[in-house]
C-alpha cells in the first residue's frame, strides 16, 4: 500500500472517531442521567427510549442565532471554540486502538506529546473569557485558568509514574509492558490521573469555571448557536480522550482476558466506554466543589499522592 494512502486511511479513521465517539458518549449521558435522576424529557424524542434526543439538540443549536457581543474581540471570540476542539483531535491521532500499529500516528514520545497538547486547552478558556467583554465570562476564565494550571501537575506526575514503570514514553509500548498486577501497584496513580483529568476537562464536580448558579455559564456565557455547540462537543471529546488515556496507561489498553489480538480494538473501546460511564456517573452523584475545596484537593491531596507514587515506582524499578 502506498504511504500516502495509508496515511489518508489513518487520518480519516481518526476523524471518524473524533466525530462519532463523542456523540455516542453524549447520547449515553442523556440516557444515564435520565435514569439516575428520573428525567422524563430525554426519553421521549423520537419514540423508543428517546433515540432522537441528540438529533433534536443538534437541530436546536443549528437554528439558534449566532451572536457576537458588540464590545467583543470578534476574531478571538470566534476562534476560541476551534482552539478548544483542535488539541483533542491531535491527541486522538496518537492514542493506540489496538496492536499491530492500529493508531493514527505512532510516536515514540506519544505520552509527552499528549500531555503537551492537552495543556493547550487553557488557551481556549482564556480566549473566550477575555474576548467576550463580560465580567462573568472573565471570572469563569480566571477560575478555569487557575484550575487547569493547578491540576496539570498531578496529571503529569501520575502519567510519569506509569511511564517510569513501563520504561517508555510510547503509548503502545506502555500497553505492551502493562501487567495485570499494575491494577494494584499503579492504582493511586490511576486515581490521581483520572481525577485530575476530570478537572482538566472541567466536568462536574470540577465545573467551577462554568458555575451556572454564580457565573451564568462562565467563559461560555456569551456563546450561542453552533459556537456554543462546539464547546459542548469539546467537552464530550475531552471525556473520550481522558477515558482513552486512562485505558491505555492504567487499564491495559487492548489487552483482555483472551489472547486473541484481533479483538484488541474491541477491548479498548469497551474500557473507554466503561470509564466514560464512570465520568457521567460522577456528574450525577456529586455536588460542585467550591473553589477553595477544589484547590485544596489539588495541592494537599493529589500532588502529594502523585509524588509518593512516583517515589514508589522508582524504588520498585530499582529493586527489579
**pLDDT value for 11:** 81
Q: At what angle do helices 3-37 and 225-250 cross, to 10 degrees?
A: 100
- How far is the C-alpha of 219 from the C-alpha of 262, rounded, in Å? 44
Q: Which residues pair with 102 in a beta bridge?
A: 98
pLDDT-derived band of residue 1, with 50, 70 and 90 as boundaries? low
57 CB contacts (<8 Å, ≥6 apart)? none
Q: What is the span of the domain harbouring residue 9?
A: 3-319
CB burial of residue 24 (10 Å; 0-12, 13-18, 19+): middle
User: Percentage of residues in the chain with pLDDT exceeding 70?
Assistant: 98
**pLDDT value for 243:** 95
Least-confidence region, from 13-17, 70-74, 171-175, 258-262: 258-262
| Entry pTM | 0.92
- How far is the C-alpha of 28 from the C-alpha of 34, rounded, in Å? 10
For residue 98, give the 3-state DSSP assignment: strand
Domains in the chain, number? 1
Give 12-19 contacts, CB < 8 A, sequence gap 24+: 13/104, 14/89, 14/92, 14/93, 14/104, 15/89, 17/92, 18/88, 18/89, 18/92, 18/237
* Grid coordinates belonging to 64: 439558534
Q: What is the DSSP letter of 40?
A: -
If you average pLDDT over every residue of the chain, what do you get? 86
**Is 180 a residue whose pLDDT tops 90?**
no
Question: What b/e readout covers 118-154, taking b as 16+ CB neighbours within 10 angstroms?
Answer: bbebbbbbbbbbbbbebebbbbbbbbbbbbbebbbbb
**Is 24 a residue whose pLDDT tops 90?**
no
Average pLDDT over residues 91-112: 85
**Is 295 a residue whose pLDDT tops 70?**
yes
**pLDDT value for 193:** 96
pLDDT-derived band of residue 187, with 50, 70 and 90 as boundaries? very high
**pLDDT value for 183:** 87
* Grid coordinates belonging to 83: 482552539
- Asked whether 128 and 290 are in contact (CB, 8 A), the reply is no
Average pLDDT over residues 106-123: 88
**Is 23 a residue whose pLDDT tops 80?**
yes
pLDDT-derived band of residue 35, with 50, 70 and 90 as boundaries? confident
Average pLDDT over residues 233-258: 89
**pLDDT value for 208:** 83
Amino acid at each position: 500500500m502506498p504511504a500516502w494512502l495509508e496515511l489518508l486511511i489513518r487520518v480519516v479513521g481518526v476523524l471518524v472517531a473524533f466525530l462519532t465517539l463523542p456523540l455516542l458518549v453524549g447520547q449515553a449521558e442523556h440516557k444515564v442521567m435520565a435514569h439516575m435522576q428520573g428525567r422524563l424529557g430525554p426519553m421521549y424524542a423520537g419514540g423508543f427510549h428517546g433515540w432522537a434526543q441528540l438529533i433534536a439538540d443538534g437541530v436546536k443549536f443549528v437554528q439558534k442565532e449566532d451572536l457576537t457581543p458588540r464590545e467583543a474581540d470578534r476574531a478571538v471570540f470566534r476562534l476560541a471554540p476551534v482552539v478548544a476542539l483542535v488539541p483533542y483531535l491531535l491527541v486522538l491521532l496518537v492514542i493506540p486502538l489496538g496492536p499491530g500499529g492500529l493508531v493514527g500516528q505512532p510516536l515514540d514520545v506519544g505520552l509527552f506529546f499528549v500531555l503537551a497538547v492537552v495543556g493547550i486547552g487553557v488557551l481556549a478558556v482564556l480566549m473566550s473569557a477575555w474576548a467576550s467583554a463580560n465580567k462573568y465570562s472573565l471570572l469563569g476564565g480566571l477560575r478555569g485558568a487557575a484550575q487547569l494550571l493547578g491540576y496539570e501537575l498531578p496529571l503529569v506526575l501520575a502519567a510519569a509514574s506509569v511511564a517510569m514503570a513501563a520504561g517508555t514514553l510510547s503509548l503502545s509500548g506502555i500497553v505492551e509492558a502493562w501487567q495485570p498486577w499494575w491494577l494494584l501497584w499503579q492504582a493511586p496513580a490511576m486515581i490521581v490521573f483520572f481525577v485530575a483529568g476530570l478537572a482538566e476537562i472541567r466536568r462536574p464536580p470540577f465545573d467551577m469555571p462554568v458555575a451556572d448558579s454564580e457565573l451564568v455559564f462562565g467563559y461560555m456565557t456569551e456563546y450561542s448557536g453552533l459556537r456554543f455547540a462546539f464547546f459542548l462537543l469539546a467537552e464530550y471529546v475531552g471525556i473520550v480522550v481522558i477515558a482513552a488515556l486512562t485505558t491505555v496507561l492504567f487499564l491495559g489498553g487492548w489487552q483482555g482476558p483472551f489472547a486473541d489480538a484481533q479483538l484488541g480494538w474491541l477491548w479498548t473501546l469497551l474500557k473507554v466506554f466503561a470509564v466514560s460511564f464512570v465520568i457521567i456517573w460522577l456528574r450525577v452523584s456529586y455536588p460542585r466543589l467550591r473553589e477553595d475545596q477544589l484547590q485544596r484537593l489539588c495541592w494537599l491531596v493529589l500532588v502529594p499522592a502523585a509524588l509518593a507514587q512516583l517515589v514508589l515506582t522508582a524504588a520498585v524499578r530499582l529493586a527489579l
